[in-house]
Chain A
Amino acid sequence: MGHYIPSTREEQQQMLDSIGAQSVAALFADVPASVLRTEPLDLPAGKSELEVRQAITEMAGENKVYGTILRGAGAYQHYIPSIVTYITAKEEFVTSYTPYQAELSQGILQSIFEYQTMICDLTGMDESNASLYDGATAAAEAVAMCRDRKRTVALVSATTHPDVINTIRTYCYGAGHELRIVPQQNGQTDLAALQEALTDDVCCFYVQQPNFYGQFEDCQALGEVVHQAGAKYIMGCNPIALAIMKTPAACGADVAVGEGQPLGMPLAYGGPYLGFMAASAAMVRKLPGRIVGETVDADGQRAYVLTLQAREQHIRREKASSNVCSNQALCALTAAVYMSTMGPEGLKQAAVQSMSKAHYFARRLAEIPGVQVQFGDQWFHEFVTTLPVSAEAVLHALDAADILGGYPVEQGILWCVTEVVSKAQLDQAAAIIGEVCASCS
């Protein structure tokens, strides 16, 4: 037999004899005859490994992998150290299930415990869970943590990534609760509008730092206003920026979440990525998903287990804090290996270099007549420029030079620069954009 089935026909017959069944078909006798298939599925025949490799490799060849990427908008190209890829490909990590059986899963459990510690260190928060699906779902789960009987309305800043807003909106729709958008002013959350929106039925306010336009929000001021109104404060953070920027804990956040993809995960057409979540100690029993804790075994040795399971669906069923079962454990491991490899200095360098190169590129673009950097000057590695020509014309010219330009937005283009892009590549891109702007104006 092929296709990963080890039993031979002869062995299968022995097994049928042992069961006392006439045939394999007899094992499906409970399936009503009217729906039992007699014909095979209308699908191609199975293929050899070599044929499948050729077919899939051909599909990969139909994608364009850009030599230079100046686009972020929720997915960021950072350098992935070689060891990260090798460690996370180890079969023991790749092919194990959720570590229900602690006695033979200490390696998985310890790796998650270490990940939780690193997320706490990065965010300054007290406790972390074992991971969620991605940044958008982590944001939506955070909102659900903050809701109570009296306070049900969620506020989200208009400067948040559109996917995050939509995902929160969808989760609110499910729960039957309201979501209100707090407007922006000049690329930042409108503080006065927030103050006005904080009625006594508001459970939380969500802000992204840096926000969708790359701008740093005044997160401490926002947090103070939110807490004065008795609501909870959620911050969605870029994990690379956290190496250098004020932590959500220092800004007063009750829950910190974010998209962990920049921590060692490839762009991969949008997934799998990593939702990280950390909270203040007061909210630990509201955390969704798996959590690993330290304990001792019967011999008194240090050991790790899945813990606080009374929150979870397999115990609480309809009263669970969330339905999360599978998470993104291998992506959490990836993030932990990435952070260990970069170390405190390396991660800081990734942040500083991304920011410095983005600001360099912005200065080069600002030299082009008709190109203006929008909003304030406090931003991380993404920024918006206006253009004297259509975004399409600019992106088309960059594409011809193997450069993926920024993401088109209402005001122009949202650019992103990370540490992997060299000064020479930025100069080349700026020159091309300058030419397009000059020739069209």
Chain B
Amino acid sequence: MQLIFEKSRPGRGCTILPVCDVPEVQLPEQLKREQPLPLPELSETDISRHYTALAKRAHGVNDGFYPLGSCTMKYNPRIDEEMAALPGFTGVHPLQPAATVQGCQKVLDTAKAYLCEATGMDDITFQPAAGAHGEFTGLLLIKAYHEARGDLHRNKIIIPDAAHGTNPASAVMAGFTVVTIPSNADGCVDLDALRASVGEDTAGLMLTNPNTVGIFDSNILEITDIIHRAGGLNYYDGANFNAIMGVVRPGDMGFDVVHLNLHKTFATPHGGGGPGSGPVACKEILRPYLPGCAVAGDSAPKLQVKGFYGNFLVVLKALTYMMTLGAEGIREACEGAVLNANYMMSGLRDLYPVAYGQRCMHEFVLSLEQLKKETGVSALDVAKSLIDYGMHPPTMYFPLIVHEALMFEPTETESKETLDEAIAVLRALYELAYSDAEQMHQAPHHAQIKRPDEVQAARHPVLRYQR
């Protein structure tokens, strides 16, 4: 398909702005742009068709099954989008007087009430724009807390080896040294290793529960207690919050601070990579360090992680969703997610070994190590083959502790027949691996493109259109 620049024709354009009704002011020569601005010149028809064609070459969760593990690709309700498009929200300047933004304030206050109750926390900031941004923010709260107590040598954050890659990256950005602890034979935290790693330099622990192999760590109370006794704080990575919301709260499990991914658990769309929203909720002891906004008049906030107050419209979409679900609906969503994951796993585990455990929470990890050994068909081959069946592949090769990993998260918004169909396709692919491995090495066969050459892309980067 042509790039938008290749469709450009000199002299084409759209009539958008009126003629200027005041005398024109020019920039002095030394400030003027020297090069021409080579934006495409197109009619509105050209633009409409170009982007419609691009949209047809995309696959969203509203297009089909999207069991991308750890990403919680649940259905994104249309009402949430419509509410976020109301002019009463989109037309509001972030620096309007407080009396003129009571509606926006109510949105934030109500979302705060829902999320603090759901997490068992006391306060929240909506400033972080994404999950990783929330991690960074939460870790800064921990850092500021220890510093304020004069506890200046707590510079280590303990992170299990199965953690999301953002965890160690965020810890380093917040100035901590990462202590990686191994998982035990069940894929959970190795308590002895944890005990051996804590000390007077422990700032805290970052943990996902359920963890990235989809298992709820039943030692959770002991784990958080070990950290507290050592003088550290517990950070809950909320990427997997869909597995526990309404059933058990991070605040009750001994966590002091948590980030949520509103774009996962609370059904706001991912937009091809963002915008998300990663609010950070915390216990009373961390409240004094929550970030503020300088230009909105917060006097010299100690912390500020972004301009203004966060991705407001995303918070609004999440609030619309939470109000729709209510207390019982939030729990039902969680239970539905766990039920769907267990059902899908039970339909596959006789062919594809499950990495850990007998049951799972909202997601499960299969290991295709044996299949690869016997047929040469890899996790990648199976993932790519799914594309020919109109399914988005699961997360591949994560967590790193499982070889040939495929991580499925079906979510609660998928029907039994969608799961049955996916199970049938995966079972058929297992048979195909033994009968025609070559066909799977070449998959997908009916997609927009064949497999791309990623090595060339990285070795000789072409990151913009070459005129």
Contact = CB atoms under 8 A, between A and B. Distances in A.
Contacts of B301: 166
A3 B343 contact: no
Contact of A244 (B32, B175, B305, B319): B32
Nearest to B188: A30
Q: Which of under 10, 10 to 19, 20 to 34, or 35 or more describes the interface residues of A?
A: 35 or more
B21 to A, nearest CB: 4
A332 B376 CA distance: 40
Contact of B276 (A121, A269, A326, A341): A326
Contact of B169 (A268, A270, A323): A323
A291 B463 contact: yes
Contact of B39 (A174, A284, A344): A344
Contact of B56 (A63, A107, A116): A107
Interface stretch (B101-109, B227-235, B367-375, B429-437): B101-109
B130 interface: yes
Interface string B424-467: 00000000000000000010100111111110111001111100
Interface string B4-38: 11000000111011001111110110111111111
A107 B324 CA distance: 32
A243 B33 contact: yes
B89 A167 contact: no
B185 interface: no
Interface string A15-59: 110111100100111111011110011111111010011011111
Provide the main secondary structure of the chain B interface.
Answer: loop
Interface string B317-333: 00110111111111111
Contact of B339 (A16, A316, A340): A16
B170 interface: yes
A188 interface: no
A165 interface: yes
A15 to B, nearest CB: 4
Given A35-B221, A174-B174, A350-B17, A103 B88 contact: no
Given A111-B272, A272-B314, A245 B32 contact: yes
Most buried by B among A46, A61, A299: A46
A272 B311 contact: yes
A122 interface: yes
Interface string A323-350: 1111111110100110111111111111
Contacts of B461: 127, 284, 291, 293, 307-308
B454 A307 contact: yes
A86 B48 CA distance: 9
Contact of B451 (A81, A103, A128): A103
Interface string A164-197: 1111011101111000000000000000000000
B305 A4 contact: no
B246 A41 contact: yes
A151 to B, nearest CB: 18
A243 B36 CA distance: 9
Given A24-B339, A137-B306, A340-B47, 9 more contacts: A12-B336, A43-B118, A71-B95, A94-B81, A95-B76, A103-B448, A170-B291, A327-B275, A330-B269
B402 interface: no
A110 interface: yes
A430 to B, nearest CB: 12
A344 B35 CA distance: 12
Interface in B108-133: 113-114, 117-118, 129-133
B339 A12 contact: yes
Interface stretch (B197-205, B280-288, B409-417): B409-417
A338 to B, nearest CB: 10
A37 B327 CA distance: 12
A106 B387 contact: no
A27 B339 contact: yes
Given A340-B47, A344-B36, A32 B218 contact: yes
A295 B454 contact: yes
A356 interface: yes
B314 to A, nearest CB: 6
Give 6 closest A-B pairs by Cβ, nearest first: A60-B88, A270-B308, A46-B326, A330-B271, A95-B60, A329-B273
Interface in B380-421: 383-384, 387, 392-393, 398, 412-416
B215 A290 contact: no
B117 A42 contact: yes
B55 A93 contact: yes
B55 A90 contact: yes
B216 A31 contact: yes
Contact of A170 (B34, B37, B305, B384): B305
18 contacts: A49-B79, A56-B107, A59-B104, A79-B17, A93-B58, A97-B270, A101-B387, A128-B464, A133-B275, A167-B307, A173-B303, A271-B314, A296-B452, A301-B449, A307-B457, A313-B132, A329-B271, A342-B16
A344 B13 CA distance: 9
A315 interface: yes
A75 B76 contact: no
B168 interface: yes
Contacts of B183: none
Interface string A418-441: 010011001000000000000000
Nearest to A362: B25
Nearest to B220: A32
B32 to A, nearest CB: 6
A12 to B, nearest CB: 6
B352 interface: no
Contacts of B53: 107
Contacts of B166: 313-314, 323, 325
B43 to A, nearest CB: 10
A386 interface: no
A63 B218 contact: no
